[in-house]
């Protein structure tokens, strides 16, 4: 079962039951059903989060794979581990009306949906996180006043928010709207007594606002921020010639974001992207400046390293490290998935009689049904349903 302890049996059952019903794991559940990614996530935790980002470093990571190959699962594993370690986290699902071409909407989504596990509770949304920091001993209030961030007005607003107790309800209501990226008129801010706060979030200043927010989390004393861009859209790909302006705008925005991370302009941040196959080629074709930032040259003698910023999904699975044949990888995944779920059923006190044969039959049926990378998701879903049924047989 790996080195990390499982939750109690009732919690594991709830995780499996929820997955069997919805097809998606609950928050914190990815590691329970993971098959083969634990060593890579340990590397992310130790080398990237603890040693690099906590010291002010920033980086971007890309996971490439087809639909159903496990990209979202990897992001969930990183999200859960980051949350356990005190990082601010935000999951950005680009399948739902969000695009890199609309950086102001990306920024607003982050302000509204970032969260942190703090003082044994989950705190959501940017203003509420700042409010919670006010009376904590690690808050770097004085140091924060001395730095100059890109959006001075947003920085001033943040300083008001970490002194929430000094604001009346109207001032807090107005400030909170501003910090969530809403359009707040200057006269409203003045009437609330919020001096040197203006220039609400807009298309023109979205990059400055987001960079200020990410830097503020780190410079106020938190460990940093983990941004997870899921099922990255093809905002910067197009078959049209010349390339449409919307594509070049989106690509240029993400290029500048990558540059800000690598140059130190943004501190204490990891941005992870789940991308489809041929992502780099598409970037090079549509916007060479972006492709050049991402292109990694490999030769036949080069062994794929976890330190690479761009990895295919299968490269993070420790069971596949020395197995290149896709058919062998499929068999190996099924073998370890069966072992995983047998152990979960036993842990939860379920019926394990002839469970190996049942799991083999179910798993091989899914291998036949799914010729592509979707087989992983299908196997996990099928084994989960069978595991729940077996636990229910003995569950009081």
Residue 24: the pLDDT is: 78
Q: Is the dihedral of CA 167, 172, 175, 176 positive or negative?
A: positive
CA angle centred on 126, ends 129 and 86, rounded to 5°: 50
pLDDT score of 302: 44
Residues of the chain below pLDDT 70: 1-3, 95-97, 231-241, 295-304, 396
Q: Is-contact 284 295, C-beta < 8 A?
A: yes
User: Global pTM?
Assistant: 0.91
Residue 96, pLDDT score: 61
pLDDT of 235 reads 54
**Separation between Cα atoms, residue 232 and residue 234, nearest integer Å:** 7
Encoded tokens for 103: 């950086």
Domains and CATH numbers, the chain: 25-128+202-318 (3.40.50.300), 320-394 (no CATH)
Q: HEC string of the chain?
A: CCCCCCCCHHHHHHHHHHHHHHCCCCCCCHHHHCCCCHHHHHHHHHHHHHCCHHHCCEEEEEEECCCCCCHHHHHHHHHHHHHHCCCEEEEEECCCCCCCCCHHHHHHHHHHHCEEEECCEEEECHHHHHHHHCCCCCCCHHHHHHCCCCCHHHHHHHHHHCCHHHCCHHHHHHHHHHHCCCCCCHHHHHHCCCCCCCCCCCCCCHHHHHHHHHHHHHHCCCCCEEEEEECCCCCCCCCCCCCCHHHHHHHHHHHHHHHHHHHCCCCCEEEEEEECCCHHHHHHHHCHHHHHHHCCCCCCCCCCCCCCCEEEHHHHCHHHCCCCCHHHHHHHHHHHHHHHHHHHHHHCCCCCCCHHHHHHHHHHHHHHHCCCCCHHHHHHHHHHHHHHHHHHHHCC
Given this model, what pLDDT does residue 252 score? 81
What is the model's pLDDT at position 297? 43
CA-based torsion, 178, 139, 48, 211: positive or negative: positive
**Could you tell me if 262 and 213 are in contact, meaning their C-beta atoms sit under 8 angstroms apart?**
no
The first and second tokens of residue 100, run together, are: 């890199």
């Amino acid at each position: 079962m790996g080195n990390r302890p499982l939750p109690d049996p009732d919690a594991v059952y709830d995780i499996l039951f929820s997955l069997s019903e919805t097809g998606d794991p609950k928050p914190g559940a990815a590691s329970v059903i993971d098959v083969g990614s634990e060593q890579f996530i340990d590397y992310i935790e130790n080398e990237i989060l603890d040693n690099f980002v906590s010291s002010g470093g920033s980086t971007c990571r890309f996971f490439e794979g087809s639909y159903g190959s496990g990209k979202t699962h990897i992001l969930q594993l990183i999200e859960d581990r980051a949350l356990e370690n005190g990082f601010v986290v935000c999951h950005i699902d680009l399948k739902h009306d969000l695009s890199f071409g609309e950086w102001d909407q990306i920024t607003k989504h982050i302000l509204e949906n970032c969260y942190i596990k703090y003082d044994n509770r989950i705190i959501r949304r940017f203003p509420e996180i700042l409010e919670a920091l006010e009376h904590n001993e690690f808050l770097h209030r004085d140091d924060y006043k001395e730095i100059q961030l890109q959006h001075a007005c947003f920085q001033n607003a943040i300083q008001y928010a970490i002194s929430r107790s000094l604001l009346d309800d109207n001032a807090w209501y107005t400030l909170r709207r501003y910090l969530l990226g809403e359009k707040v008129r200057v006269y409203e801010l003045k009437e609330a007594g919020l001096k040197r706060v203006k220039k609400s979030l807009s298309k023109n200043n979205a990059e400055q606002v987001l960079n200020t927010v990410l830097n503020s989390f780190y410079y106020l004393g938190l460990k940093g921020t983990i941004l997870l861009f899921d099922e990255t859209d093809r905002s910067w790909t197009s078959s049209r010639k010349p390339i449409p302006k919307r594509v070049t705008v989106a690509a240029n925005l993400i290029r500048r974001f990558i540059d800000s991370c690598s140059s130190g302009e943004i501190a204490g941040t990891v941005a992870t992207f789940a991308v489809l196959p041929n992502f780099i080629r598409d970037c090079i074709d549509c916007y060479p400046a972006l492709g050049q930032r991402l292109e990694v040259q490999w030769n036949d003698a080069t062994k794929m390293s976890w330190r690479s910023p761009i990895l295919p999904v299968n490269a993070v699975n420790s069971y596949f490290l020395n197995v290149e044949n896709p058919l062998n990888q499929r068999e190996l995944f099924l073998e370890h998935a069966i072992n995983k779920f047998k152990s979960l059923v036993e842990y939860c006190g379920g019926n394990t009689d002839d469970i190996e044969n049942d799991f083999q039959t179910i798993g091989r049926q899914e291998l036949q049904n799914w010729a592509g990378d979707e087989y992983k998701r299908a196997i996990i879903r099928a084994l989960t349903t069978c595991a729940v049924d077996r636990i229910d047989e003995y569950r009081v």
